[in-house]
Structure 1
Amino acid sequence: MLSRILIAIVGIPLLVYLLYTGGFPLFLFTEVIVLIGVHEFYQMAEIGGKKPNKIIGMITAFLIPLAVYLDQAKILAVGTETVISLGIIAVMTLRVLKNRVENASTDIGETLVGALYPAVLFSHCILISYLPNGGKWLVTAQVMVWVCDSFAYFTGLAIGRKIFNRGFNSISPKKSIEGSIGGTVATILSLWIMDKYLGLVPDRMSLITVIIFGLFISAVAQIGDLGESMFKREFKVKDSGTILKGHGGILDRFDSMLFVAPVMYYLLKLMIL
């Protein structure tokens, strides 16, 4: 319990600072999250009997945020599609050279999913940071994730399965539809409050925009959480890692943000900017 409290006291202000500041510190933070996340995924996969190519996966995952940052900072235009293409070619080439057919698609698939899942999705934090008020939007995204997770938990604890019998039994037995609705309502309200006090857009967001944003962000935050639970169920592990002590692993803490970052980026580009 003490370790959980200490990590929260130190980690939350640091996270908010990095998200708000952007630039090179955010890039370094992104690389740390991505590389630890990829390592955790491969570790879980190996426990589940899979054999991903960890070296190629880690190199590919490292290069994706680097390519995004260099492009956004106007230093060098590499292109994430180039990195991804070379990663796919490399992992398939090495597999062919091994001259082994058994479980080829599974091992190659695990390698690529493990690398692209954290790297491509979380790199959208860098893209958001270069948008107008990008730092404020990143902090808002993280607050919305925290609010959604907390209120979904407490709503589910209070009235879970009293209205809707069916939840997400196969993936996460404790998740309920009531909890999901509670998290969604709270997420919409949190966005309205953040826009009011942070001034995310010059003339305030319209109510319909707030609702649309809140619905999408809440939905993908919960899908991200359930998606990571799905992997853990398949690989038969309780947590993705132990680096955060009582908080589990990096993927346990950032599973929702992995999905929220790209969705928020494209919603901003489509509806506001």
Structure 2
Amino acid sequence: MFTRVITALIAVALFIPLIWIGSWPLVIGMAILAVIGLSEFLHMKKMKMSSPPAVLSLIGVALMVLSIYFPILFAVEVFSRIIILTMVLLFLYSLAFQETTTKDVAEMILMMIYIGIGFYAFVSLRLTNVSLLVLILLVIWATDSGAYLIGRKIGRTKLAPAISPNKTVEGALGGTVLASVLVFIFLQYFPQSEHVFATFLLMVVISITGQVGDLLESKIKREYHTKDSGTILPGHGGILDRFDSLLLVLNVLFILGVV
């Protein structure tokens, strides 16, 4: 527990200034996190980081995040081309070297898109609406904390025993309730728009989506027979372990056009 707390304090001490500063430091920082996150997935696949497919996908995910500052085209057009180029190169490599299968290519591209869009959306949201980003982070934190504390106290009904045996329905509901209370208070002082109720409902959806993202990461780890995605954060696991809820939320916000 002591290691977990110390790691959390150090991470917060680094993360908050990065969000506050924004601009290039944040973009580079998120690109690095995206690379680490994808490398954790590749490690779960037992791939060597020095292999050409791994290098191609890691470069691709970094460029997706960095594309927010590419001046030539709209960023979405840029990273669409990045995705397609990486996919084509990986397919060509798989033709030349049989150890890389089409299944490998599909998995790498899928995770590259998921992680790349997630961290791209994080940067985009910071550049356009830092107050909304803070609110979303508050919702994720409150949901996780509420689900953990309430689940331990009164949790009885398993939420998804085949994927994550420790999660309970009571904990999930408790996390969303706690997040909803904090959102209500936050919006009294920092309204995001004139449609306060719509914002409130969106945050409730984000709370639920974050918990689905947590389950998704648990499913991926279970499929690859891994307890933690990585060891970069002692007591917490890897980057994918810490950003599991947020990554799905940011992908959904990207779909909705919020970022």
TM over 0.5: yes
Unaligned runs of 5+ in 1: none
Match in the other structure for 1:189: 181
- List structure 1 segments (4+ residues) > 6 angstroms apart after TM superposition: none
Separation of aligned partners in 2, 1:263 and 1:26: 21
Correspondence 1:1-273 to 2 at 5 A: 1-46=1-46, 53-70=53-70, 75-77=71-73, 79-98=78-97, 100=98, 104-131=101-128, 134-161=129-156, 165-197=157-189, 199-201=190-192, 203=194, 205-206=195-196, 208-264=197-253, 269=258
Letter of the structure 1 residue corresponding to residue 95 of structure 2 = V
1:192–1:221 distance in 2 versus 1, CA, 3 Å: same
> 1:125 touches 1:261 (CA, 8 Å); kept in 2?
yes
Cα deviations by residue, 1:9-52 (Å, 9 ceiling, x for unpaired): 222143223224321121012112101101111111218xxx99
Separation of aligned partners in 2, 1:191 and 1:97: 53
Report SS of the residue matched to 1:53. Answer: helix
- Note the C-alpha offset of 1:170: 0.8
Unaligned runs of 5+ in 2: none
- Note the C-alpha offset of 1:62: 1.2
Separation of aligned partners in 2, 1:7 and 1:166: 29
1:268–1:103 distance in 2 versus 1, CA, 3 Å: closer
Q: Alignment RMSD, CA only?
A: 2.3
> Which sits farther off after the overlay, 21-30 or 249-258?
21-30
Q: TM-score, normalised by structure 2?
A: 0.88
- Note the C-alpha offset of 1:58: 0.7
Count how many residue pairs are aligned between Structure 1 and Structure 2.
253
Separation of aligned partners in 2, 1:200 and 1:109: 42
Separation of aligned partners in 2, 1:222 and 1:15: 22
Separation of aligned partners in 1, 2:7 and 2:57: 29
> 1:22 touches 1:135 (CA, 8 Å); kept in 2?
no
What percent identity do the matched residue pairs reach?
32
Separation of aligned partners in 1, 2:59 and 2:176: 37
Separation of aligned partners in 2, 1:147 and 1:196: 17
Report SS of the residue matched to 1:248. Answer: coil
Cα deviations by residue, 1:243-263 (Å, 9 ceiling, x for unpaired): 111111111111111112233
> 1:242 touches 1:249 (CA, 8 Å); kept in 2?
yes
1:262–1:111 distance in 2 versus 1, CA, 3 Å: closer
- Note the C-alpha offset of 1:144: 1.1
Cα deviations by residue, 1:120-165 (Å, 9 ceiling, x for unpaired): 222101221232xx2222222111111000101112112212xxx4
Report SS of the residue matched to 2:87. Answer: helix
Cα deviations by residue, 1:74-112 (Å, 9 ceiling, x for unpaired): x332521111111111111111222x3x87232112221
Q: TM-score, normalised by structure 1?
A: 0.84
Separation of aligned partners in 1, 2:258 and 2:220: 31
1:194–1:14 distance in 2 versus 1, CA, 3 Å: farther
> 1:52 touches 1:111 (CA, 8 Å); kept in 2?
no
